[in-house]
Chain A
């Protein structure tokens, strides 16, 4: 990196800050219609035996039955530890992989098994921002041809109109439009990520899948890029699927958050429900593990839930609830039955047999009656299992109100 580029880069970055005062992602519109609907999505990667005859000996259950909706012009955050399947989910939605089962509906159109020819128009609607700005840009192409390539491929503009549009885009993401003929290595990490964002914006997509867009950047640069993404959302009304492991950034960016563990969504809800009213022990543990700067000011840290061990292998996940091997409140029923994703609030679903606020988890499994089993998970001949436990994307109008032990209604 030469000194010249850095100094020339500065005015651009400074210029972006006061440009738009967007506060986009902070609140979700009350009843936005879903642009993306994912229903029971599964992705199993085959594990093949070594040697000449490569038989399939198992499957990595990377994503195993995930359902959610993303509304127009809002953001859904997908958080979880590495290996939980959040990046795979993102790649399934952009159809970089073909799902094993389940359905992806984009604006009502089923794109689950769309063929290559059908995918091309889809690429104009769904674009992706990658994590690593160093490997996601072709080092042998200029910024102009990287950002302009989608326009040429989709024949949106005649060749001589591409350059002005590229320069316009570079300006939108806070780069100097004069720099279109430079190569990626001449830019710093934050600026490269801006190039990646410009490329994703070229075709004016309706949905952006951002896979850890800021985690490779320095702290001071992260905030610049997060603000840029928010400005883009306000200005162009793009919906985001925001994949990240940083809980604080997801909270800042997304009005709705899904927490994943080992290929499944364990808790999904609006920001309030997840961050101040978490009912799943894994969400609670994740939140308590985040080191807090403010503890220096307020004195003393909050009690941390220590999770033992590591995430189990997705090739051979634990029976029943996948979190039970590390769960502080697991009981016998957890090993026998997988907890259904119960709706417990207007916009709050949790998959746990013992959902409750931290330290207030119920002693008896709440789901036993629904599953038709007794409290230890053995089949109960007297009980009749509930039939409507099929997970739906989106939220129902009625839910189980845990505080009042009744059915809540919208």
Chain B
């Protein structure tokens, strides 16, 4: 859960070494109009049993980077460079055949829309059993038994009957459960969930998030959850990575990022969603403008055309120079890509009163104490 990471993040990384280590990942798509730099120098670590939440708008590169980890850009004209090290093996160096053997067994993925991710002509059981038989030489019968077990584990009623159903006979929530069963049948060390609940209703979303947390504890998998919903992140993630225009703009423990964000884009994300207990008389504070084009991203900080705080940076730094992803004022575990010299003060005096007036004062002191 979100509360554990704050104290452990600093020490655990050095002792065991991360399960997944992504270094300077770049994914570029050459097109007729130029090179689309979908992911540009992404670096992060993830330990076994931990959850990383990747947040960002459409086009920020969050799905593209997870597809790179799955090796799904192989065979396309995408240019992938950098390093993706999973349990000591660089996934970008191995052959397509070796990658195929890892896919599903060491790393698997849950997609946003389970109806289009499943084959409509095959039964659900058939598809789940196939995922098992690819990596285990067992008979169809045993594989099907295993599929029934998994369907039971993810909470599908009468799994021995439903295993013979086609995807269209399942409801949206059940389909997503079946996808999770398929993803976990080989007990992978890393599970990537790409917007797993976006297509679902809130009550079903709550069921699926609970299920993912239970299964993660049981299987001790590392999970990357990609979402645009900060509420989901607050619930699921140990660490948060905020992406904008193909770059990480803020990275740190979940609680730290959500209570002391230091990057104006994260502030914007927090202030543009209404809250179930907020003041309804107050206007929402949107981020002005639109997400940038990746063909020709803005110079300097990619967020500067939409940033309300760029006048607080001396000179023309935001427009001319790309800020580095460096630790902010709150310690080495919390990095941000911003030129603002005193983001914490601006957040406390200008942003927090707008998004959570009831937390002004209290939260700052609590957070400071915990860090000591």
Q: Which residues from chain A sit less than 8 Å from chain B, CB to CB?
A: 1-3, 6-7, 9-10, 13-14, 17, 21-23, 26-27, 81-82, 188, 190-191, 218-224, 226-227, 230, 245, 247-249, 251-252, 271, 275, 285-301, 304, 306-307, 309-311
Residues of A within 8 A of B271 (CB): 223
Count contacts on B: residues with CB < 8 A to the other chain.
61
Question: Which of A21, A218, A289 is in CB contact (< 8 Å) with B203?
Answer: A289
Q: Are A306 and B272 in contact (CB under 8 A)?
A: no
Given contacts A81-B203, A296-B255, 9 further A-B contacts (CB under 8 A): A188-B291, A218-B57, A220-B57, A223-B273, A290-B231, A292-B234, A300-B3, A307-B203, A311-B171
Chain B, range 256-291, C-beta contacts under 8 Å to A: 258-259, 268-278, 280-281, 283-291
Contact with A along B198-219 (1 / 0, CB 8 A): 0001111111011000000000
Residues of A within 8 A of B207 (CB): 306-307
Q: Are B272 and A6 in contact (CB under 8 A)?
A: no
Question: Which of A22, A23, A190 is in CB contact (< 8 Å) with B290?
Answer: A190
Residues of A within 8 A of B39 (CB): none
Q: Tell me, yes or no, whether B356 is within 8 Å of chain A by CB.
A: yes
Tell me the bound Cα distance from A218 to B206 in angstroms.
21
| A10-B290, A220-B272, A296-B2 given; A291·B280 CB < 8 A | no
Tell me the bound Cα distance from A285 to B205 in angstroms.
12
Q: Are A248 and B275 in contact (CB under 8 A)?
A: yes
**Segment with Cβ contacts to A, from B107-115, B292-300, B326-334:** B292-300
Min distance, Cβ B189 to any Cβ of chain A, angstroms? 26
Specify which of A13, A224, A291 lies most central, judged by the most chain B CB atoms within 10 Å of its CB: A291
Min distance, Cβ B34 to any Cβ of chain A, angstroms? 9
Q: Tell me, yes or no, whether B74 is within 8 Å of chain A by CB.
A: no
Report the 8 A-B pairs with minimum CB-CB distance, sorted nearest first.
Answer: A291-B231, A223-B286, A223-B272, A296-B258, A220-B287, A252-B274, A223-B284, A289-B206
Q: Tell me, yes or no, whether B340 is within 8 Å of chain A by CB.
A: no
Residues of B within 8 A of A296 (CB): 2, 234, 254-255, 258-259
Question: Which of B209, B280, B291 is in CB contact (< 8 Å) with A271?
Answer: B280
Q: Are A306 and B210 in contact (CB under 8 A)?
A: yes
Tell me the bound Cα distance from A218 to B207 in angstroms.
24
Q: Are B268 and A220 in contact (CB under 8 A)?
A: yes
Residues of A within 8 A of B268 (CB): 220
Q: Tell me, yes or no, whether B228 is within 8 Å of chain A by CB.
A: yes
Min distance, Cβ A9 to any Cβ of chain B, angstroms? 6
Min distance, Cβ A236 to any Cβ of chain B, angstroms? 18
Q: Are B272 and A13 in contact (CB under 8 A)?
A: no
Residues of B within 8 A of A7 (CB): 293
A-B contact pairs, 29 of them (CB 8 A): A6-B291, A6-B292, A6-B293, A14-B289, A26-B280, A27-B281, A220-B291, A221-B286, A223-B272, A227-B283, A245-B202, A248-B276, A251-B276, A271-B280, A285-B203, A287-B276, A288-B206, A289-B202, A290-B276, A291-B229, A293-B230, A293-B273, A295-B2, A295-B234, A296-B234, A296-B258, A297-B258, A307-B203, A310-B171
Q: Are B280 and A218 in contact (CB under 8 A)?
A: no
Residues of A within 8 A of B205 (CB): 289, 291
A-B contact count (CB 8 A): 167
Residues of B within 8 A of A21 (CB): 283
Question: Which of B172, B231, B259, B274 is in CB contact (< 8 Å) with A249?
Answer: B274
Contact with A along B225-251 (1 / 0, CB 8 A): 000111110110000000000000000
Q: Tell me, yes or no, whether B61 is within 8 Å of chain A by CB.
A: no
Specify which of A82, A188, A247, A294 lies most central, judged by the most chain B CB atoms within 10 Å of its CB: A294
Q: Are A219 and B57 in contact (CB under 8 A)?
A: yes
Tell me the bound Cα distance from A17 to B209 in angstroms.
36
Specify which of B201, B232, B281, B290 lies most central, judged by the most chain A CB atoms within 10 Å of its CB: B290
Min distance, Cβ A157 to any Cβ of chain B, angstroms? 32
Q: Are A10 and B273 in contact (CB under 8 A)?
A: no
Q: Which residue of B lies closest to A222 (CB)?
A: B272
Q: Which residue of A lies closest to B279 (CB)?
A: A26
Residues of B within 8 A of A190 (CB): 290
Residues of B within 8 A of A290 (CB): 202, 231, 276
Chain B, range 178-211, C-beta contacts under 8 Å to A: 201-207, 209-210
Residues of B within 8 A of A292 (CB): 231, 234-235, 275-276
Residues of B within 8 A of A291 (CB): 205-206, 209, 229, 231-232, 234-235
Q: Which residue of A lies closest to B171 (CB)?
A: A310
Tell me the bound Cα distance from A289 to B271 in angstroms.
21
Question: Which of A13, A81, A218 is in CB contact (< 8 Å) with B58?
Answer: A218
Question: Which of B58, B204, B231 is in CB contact (< 8 Å) with A293?
Answer: B231
Tell me the bound Cα distance from A219 to B266 in angstroms.
11
Question: Which of A17, A22, A286 is in CB contact (< 8 Å) with B286?
Answer: A17
Q: Are B284 and A252 in contact (CB under 8 A)?
A: yes
Residues of A within 8 A of B142 (CB): none
Residues of B within 8 A of A1 (CB): 293
Question: Which of A9, A218, A247 is in CB contact (< 8 Å) with B202?
Answer: A247
Question: Which of A247, A298, A300 is in CB contact (< 8 Å) with B276?
Answer: A247
Residues of A within 8 A of B345 (CB): none
Tell me the bound Cα distance from A220 to B284 in angstroms.
10
Q: Which residue of B lies closest to A300 (CB)?
A: B3
Contact with A along B32-56 (1 / 0, CB 8 A): 0100000000000000000000000
| A227-B284, A294-B275, A306-B206 given; A299·B173 CB < 8 A | no
Min distance, Cβ A143 to any Cβ of chain B, angstroms? 16
Q: Tell me, yes or no, whether B359 is within 8 Å of chain A by CB.
A: yes
Residues of A within 8 A of B235 (CB): 291-292, 295, 301
Residues of A within 8 A of B228 (CB): 218-219
Question: Which of B57, B210, B273 is in CB contact (< 8 Å) with A248?
Answer: B273
Tell me the bound Cα distance from A291 to B228 in angstroms.
12
Tell me the bound Cα distance from A306 to B211 in angstroms.
11
Residues of A within 8 A of B58 (CB): 218
Q: Which residue of B lies closest to A82 (CB)?
A: B201
Tell me the bound Cα distance from A247 to B57 in angstroms.
21
Q: Tell me, yes or no, whether B174 is within 8 Å of chain A by CB.
A: yes
Q: Are A10 and B202 in contact (CB under 8 A)?
A: no
